[in-house]
Chains A and B, each alone.
Chain A
Amino acid sequence: MTFEEIQNRAIAEWKNLCGETRILVGAATCGRSAGALSVLDAINEELTKHNIDAVVTQVGCIGLCYTEPIICIVKPQQPHIFYASVTPEIVPEIIEDYLLKGDPRPDLALGSVGNKNVKGIPNLFDLPMLKPQVRIVLRNCGFIDPTNINHYIANSGYSGLVKALKMSPEKVIEEVKESGLRGRGGAGFPTGMKWGFCRKAPGNEKYLVCNADEGDPGAFMDRSVLEGDPHGVLEGILIGAYAIGATKGYIYCRAEYPLALERLYTALSQMREYGILGNNILGTDFSFDIEIKEGAGAFVCGEETALIASIEGRRGIPRSRPPFPANSGIWGKPTNINNVETLANVSMILQRGATWFAGFGTENCRGTKTFSLAGKIKRTGLIEVPFGIPLRQVIYDIGGGITGDKRLKAVQTGGPSGGFIPPEFLETPVDYESLTKLGSIMGSGGMIVADEDNCIVDMARFFLTFTQSESCGKCVPCRVGTRQMLDILERICRGEGEEEDINKLQHLAETVRDSALCALGGTAPNPVLTSLRYFPNEYEAHIKEKRCPAKVCTELVYYYILPDKCEGCMLCLRNCPVEAIKGGKRMVHIIDQEKCIKCGTCLDFCPPRFNAVVKISGEHPVGLEEPIPVKK
C-alpha cells in the first residue's frame, strides 16, 4: 500500500467514526486509578439498557488529572463535551439527559471543544488551567484512540515522516536545527546538532535510542505521551533514524509503566502491518526496526552511557565521555539517544515546519515544555506551556494555587537533580538558563509544589536518600559523598545536628558536584545546595532549637491532646495502634509520650469539630498525668 492509500483509508475510517455518537473515556494510568474503568463499565451498561448506538473509546490523558475520571461525549456534527470527576452513579444521568433528551447538562459539564458554542458550557481551552497552554506534544492525547494507528494517521500522523523521506537526511537535520529544538531529557542539548554528530560518525551500523526511562521520581510526562499518543513518538524515532542513518532502534522504557509498554507493543505491530516499520519503509530504501527494552529499576540507567550498558545486558554503570555515544555507543557503534518528548516534537516539526515550531517559546528555547504538576497544588496534572512563561502563571493560573490556600514554600523542579525555588522568584521565566541561574534545573519536567507543611530539610534528605541508594558506586565522590551528606541530613532531621554541619554539608555538596563521574553525582547536591541557599532558617531551627518548623521530622515532633478541647469521645484511644492513649468516656485523654510512635493516627481520627489533637515541635509536652473528666 502507498502512504496515500493508507492515509485515505484512515481518513475514511475517521470520517465514518465522526458520523457516529462517540464517548471518550480518559483511561490512562491516572484516570484508571481514579476509577475510569468502572465509569467505562457503567457507560456500556447504560448504552445497552437504552439500546443506544455509540462508540466507546479509551483515550489518553488530557492532563487534568486532578479531576479524573474525565469523559467526553461527541454527537455527530456537535462539539466535544467534557465531563469531569465522573462517577458510575452519575453516568446514567449524563447519558439519558444528553443522548436521549438532548440536554448536555451544563451543570455537570466541564467544557466543550469544537467550532460551535454550547449554551452554558465554556470552551474547554478557555478555562484558566488550559488557556496559557500550547499543545504540541500533547496534541492528540485525550482525543484519539492510542491503540488505533488510523486515528493518528487521519490527524496528519506520519505525514512528517513521508515528508522527511523525500528530503535528504542532511536536509532533515538542517530542518531540526532551524527549529531550535533542544533535548527535553534534561540537559537541553540542541537536537539537530546531536543528530549531525551521529550522521557524520563513520560506520554502516548505527543505533537510535528513545529514552523512556523517566527516572525522576515525581514526573509522568513521558508516560502520558506514550499512553496517549505512542505514534507521535514513534514517528519522531523514524525521522531521527532516517536522518542519522540508523539501522536499528531501541525504546528503553521503565517497567513501572505497564500500560505505556502495552501501547508501544500494539503500535509497533500496527506499523509493521502498514509497512511503516521494517524493510523498505513505505516503499523507499530506508529500512529500520525497533525493539523495546524494559528497564529493570535503576535510576542511573537514564544516563546515556549507563543506558547503553543496560541495553547490552550489563550492569547500568556510566563511563566517562569522550568517546561520546555519537561515536561509540551500543556495541561500540555510533548511537544517538533522545528523550520521548524530544522525539514527539520532531514529528510535529516535520509535519508543520521549523518556522512554525520556532514561533513558540523564547529566543534560546523554542517550542513548549511539558511539566507534571504535583504536590500541594489545587490542579495537579500534566501541562504543556511555551518556554518563557513565568513560574507564577504556571502555579497560580494553571495550577490554581496552593491546596487549602496555604502558603507556598517552594517549587521543586528537576527532581533529585534539581533544586528548590522559593516564592520570591515566581516571576522567573521557565527556560533552561533561568532555572539554572537559580541553582535548580529544568530537568525533564517534574514540578512539585511544597507548602508550609513541608519541611525543606526533610525534602533535601528525601532526595539524598534517593540519589544515595541509586548511586551506582563506581566513582568515589558520588558513592561516599552522597552517603556522607545523607548521614548529616539524617542527623539534623533527628535533632542531633551540630552547628558545624551546615559548613560541612556545603563543602561536601560542592565537592561532589565538581568531581563526580556522571551527572547523577554531579547534580545530586542541587537539592542540598538550593535548600541551604534559600532556607538557612529551617536548618538553623533544626540544629539550634531542635525544632522542625513544618512539624514533619518525626523525632522533633510530639502529639498532644489539648485538655480544653478533648471531649472524651475515645476515637483516638481505640485506633491508637500501640495503646499509648489513656482516657475513658467523657474523660480528657492523655498520650503517653514514652509509648507513642508518632504515627499520627490520633490526629487523623480526632473529629474536626473537636480538633483536640495537635502536633508540637521545639518543646516537650507537659500536661496532665491522669485523665480527668471533661469540663461541661
Chain B
Amino acid sequence: MSGKLAEILNIHKWEKGTLIFILQKVQRELGYISEEAISEIAKRARISISEVFGVASFYSQFHFTPRGKHTVKVCLGTSCHVQGGPRILEAVERELGIKAGETTKDYKFNLETVACFGCCALSPVIVVDKTVYSRMTTKRVKEILRLYQ
C-alpha cells in the first residue's frame, strides 16, 4: 500500500458513518479513489469491497482514475443553461480536445460539468481549479485556458 494512503487511513477512527468522509479525505489527498484504496478501506471498515464501491460510485464527487493537473468545471445549471452554458462547454471541449468527464493525454486538464456553483447571477460560469470565471463567452475560453497551459 502506498505510504500516503496508509497515513490517511491510520489517523482516522473507524466510527459508524465515516465512510464518505474517509473517501473524501483520500480523494483530496491522492486526487482519486484507486482500487487499492477501495479494498484497503473495505478491509479496515470490515465491510465488503462492493459496499465501498457502491457508496463511492453513487456520489458524483468521486473519481476512479488519476486526475489531471488542472480541473476545468463548466456549469450546466439552469441559469448557465439559459445563458448559453452548453456552448461554453462545447468551446472548452474543442479547445482541450476532450469531452466532459475526460482527462487530456498529458494529464494537464480534466474536464467536468457541474450543476451550479451558486454564482448564477453572473452566469455562464466556469471554474478552473479554485478560480471562478463568470459572465463567460466562447471567445474568452481560449484566453483563460491559456493561463493554465
- A-to-B contact residues, CB < 8 Å: 29-30, 32-34, 65-66, 68, 214, 216-220, 223-224, 255-258, 293-299, 310-317, 331, 372-376, 380-382, 412, 415-416, 446, 448-450, 454, 459, 462-463, 466, 472, 577, 599-601, 604-605
Contact = CB atoms under 8 A, between A and B. Distances in A.
Interface stretch (B2-10, B64-72, B103-111, B119-127): B119-127
Contacts of B55: 313-315
Interface in B65-116: 76-79, 81-83, 87, 90-91, 94, 114-116
Contact of B117 (A29, A216, A316, A381): A29
Interface of B: 16-21, 23-24, 54-55, 58-62, 76-79, 81-83, 87, 90-91, 94, 114-123, 125, 130, 132-135, 137-139
Given A30-B134, A297-B60, A313-B55, A459 B82 contact: yes
Contacts, number: 147
Contact of A415 (B24, B78, B94): B78
B61 A373 contact: no
Most A Cβ at <10 Å: residue of B79, B81, B121:
B121
Given A217-B115, A220-B120, A296-B24, A313 B17 contact: yes
Given A374-B123, A599-B94, A600-B87, A448 B82 contact: yes
A559 to B, nearest CB: 13
A34 B87 contact: no
A73 B23 CA distance: 45
A207 to B, nearest CB: 12
A604 B88 CA distance: 12
Chain A interface main SS type: mixed
Given A313-B16, A315-B54, A297 B61 contact: yes
Nearest to B121: A65
A214 B23 CA distance: 22
Given A219-B120, A297-B59, A316-B59, A375 B138 contact: no
Contacts of A30: 118-119, 121-122, 134
12 contacts: A29-B132, A34-B135, A224-B118, A255-B61, A256-B116, A257-B118, A295-B61, A313-B20, A380-B120, A462-B78, A601-B91, A605-B139
A375 B20 contact: no
Given A220-B120, A223-B118, A454-B82, A316 B58 contact: yes
A412 to B, nearest CB: 7
A416 B78 CA distance: 9
B119 A375 contact: no
A431 B5 CA distance: 52
B118 A381 contact: no
A91 B117 CA distance: 28
Given A296-B20, A297-B61, A372-B120, A218 B77 contact: yes
Contacts of A224: 118
Given A256-B118, A448-B79, A466-B115, A296 B138 contact: no
Contacts of B132: 29, 32-33
Contacts of A299: 115
Given A29-B132, A217-B116, A220-B118, A296 B139 contact: no
